[in-house]
Every structure is written in structure tokens, then in C-alpha cells.
Amino acid sequence: MDQVKQKTSAKLTGDHLQTKFREPLLGVADAKDPLFARLKEVVDAGHLLPQDLLADAKSVLVFFLPFDLELMRENRFGKMATREWAVAYIEANALINTLCQEMRDELGKMGIKAAFQPATHNFDPVTLCSFWSHKHAAFIAGLGTFGLHHMLITPAGCGGRFGSLVLNAKLAVTPRPLVEYCLHRQGKNCRICLDRCPTRALSDTGLDKQACYDHLLEVDRHYSDLATCDVCGKCATGPCAARIPGLNQL
């Protein structure tokens, strides 16, 4: 685990990146954790199991790449995601895919098999449901709890990107949090993520995925000179953006 974290940290400081990241987080889940089977009910019936990615799966390793604080501060304003946020999305996704490929190759030299799904765009275009949800894998791997905005709040907040690998090696499991990190789910009066949603796709009753995705495509068209950047991130700029809320404000 230490070697994986060191490798991940080193990748986040490359000169080729415009985006600044904070220290990555890592978590591990047992590949046979019954919560993975529950994702077929919670996410979609077509959601994959770890064993679908790797027949002899034993562990699921999940990592979180938290964005720099200034990036999230700047993205709070206006309807459209900032150009820097769009670039961060592109760079983080590419970085996650590269990290997974390199870790798979390195683990292979140690006799450990690994498999992974892309960082994004691995979803059904009709239902908009993911075949492999990295954020749900992160929840099972003890990296945080879900907020009112349907994002995972980690000790480093929710502003960032997740990646995951399925391994045929047994790793020590990360315990899941025993308390809710979301202020709203603690019974406190916080609806900042709902208020900042530019399309009102987020509400007390849930998430209108199509309304959300339509706006993401609008952002992608707005930054047509960039690679695919169907991203928004406005709901990830509140008090849970960079830490467990209540500890401090962004």
C-alpha cells in the first residue's frame, strides 16, 4: 500500500500537469464484500462484480485524487464550470487510467493480477448508469460516506476523482466510517450543493440524471477546443469540498 501511495503521489506532481492535486487517499475492500452485490440494486442491474473483472478477485484497491483548494474555490461561481475545472477533469481521468495501467504492470511483475475499468465514460448511454462505479467502490473500501449531492465525501472532501483496481491478492481491508460526513445527513441545515446546482437537477427527492447530463454536454460544447469534458462540479464546492464538513469551511 505504501508503494502504491508513493507512486500515486509522484504522478500528481508532474510538470506535464496544469492541475494541482493534494495528497491521494487509498482504501481497500474485500472483493467478496456483499455490498458489491448490492450495487446491482443501488446502481443498476448491469453493474459488474469484482469477479466479473477478475475471476479470482480477492481485493479492490480504490484511490482518490483530491483537487487543489483554489481550483474548487474558483469553480463556485457562475453556471458554467471554469476552464480550469474542465482541464482538471480531463487530466485526472487520463492520470487515473495511466496509474491503473502502470500499477497493473508493476503488480504483474510481482505475480499479482489486476484489472480495472476506465476512469469515466463506462456507463449506459440510455440509463446513464455506470457498469462499474468507482465512487461506490470507494464507499465499500471505507473512503467516505455519501452526501445529499450523491457524491462521496472523503476525509479530503468530495472535490476530486476516483480510480480503482481489482486484485487477486489479499490486502488489509479499510474499515468504513461509522458516522455520516454530510451535514444534511447529520440532521443539520445544509443544502449548499442543491443551491449551487445550475440546473436544479439535484433536489431533496434525488438526482435527475438526464437534466444533469444535458448540462454536462453543454459544458463539453462550451469548451469544444478541449478533449471531452462533460463535467460541472458546482455541487462539489461547498463545505464538504475539501474536508469532512464541520472541521472548517472552504
Contact 236, 149 (CB under 8 A): yes
Q: Within a domain: residue 46?
A: yes
Q: Would you say residue 77 lies in a domain?
A: yes
- Answering whether pTM is above 0.85, one says yes
Backbone angles phi, psi at 166, to 5 degrees: -100, 130
pLDDT of residue 248: 46
248 domain-assigned? no
What pLDDT was estimated at residue 235? 96
How confident is the chain (250 residues) per 10-residue block, as mean pLDDT?
65 78 97 98 95 98 97 95 98 96 94 95 87 98 97 98 98 97 94 95 92 97 97 96 75
Q: How many domains does the chain have?
A: 1
How far is C-alpha 242 from the chain's CA centre? 13
Convert 41-58 into a string of H (helix), E (strand) and C (coil): HHCCCCCCCHHHHCCCCC
The residue among 249, 219, 244 whose CA lies nearest residue 231 is 219
**pLDDT at residue 164 in the model:** 98
177-187 per-position pLDDT tens digit: 999 999 999 99
Find cell 474536508 and name the residue.
Answer: 243
Which domain covers residue 157, as residue numbers?
Answer: 2-236
244 in a structural domain: no
Phi, psi of 162 (to 5 degrees): -105, 150
> Which pLDDT score is estimated for 247?
55
Instruction: Output phi, psi for 184, to 5 deg.
Output: -60, -40
Question: What pLDDT was estimated at residue 3?
Answer: 63
The per-residue pLDDT for range 155-168, each reduced to its tens digit, is 999 999 999 999 99
CA distances, 143 to each of 57, 139, 149, 163 (Å): 20, 6, 17, 12
**The residue type at 250:** L
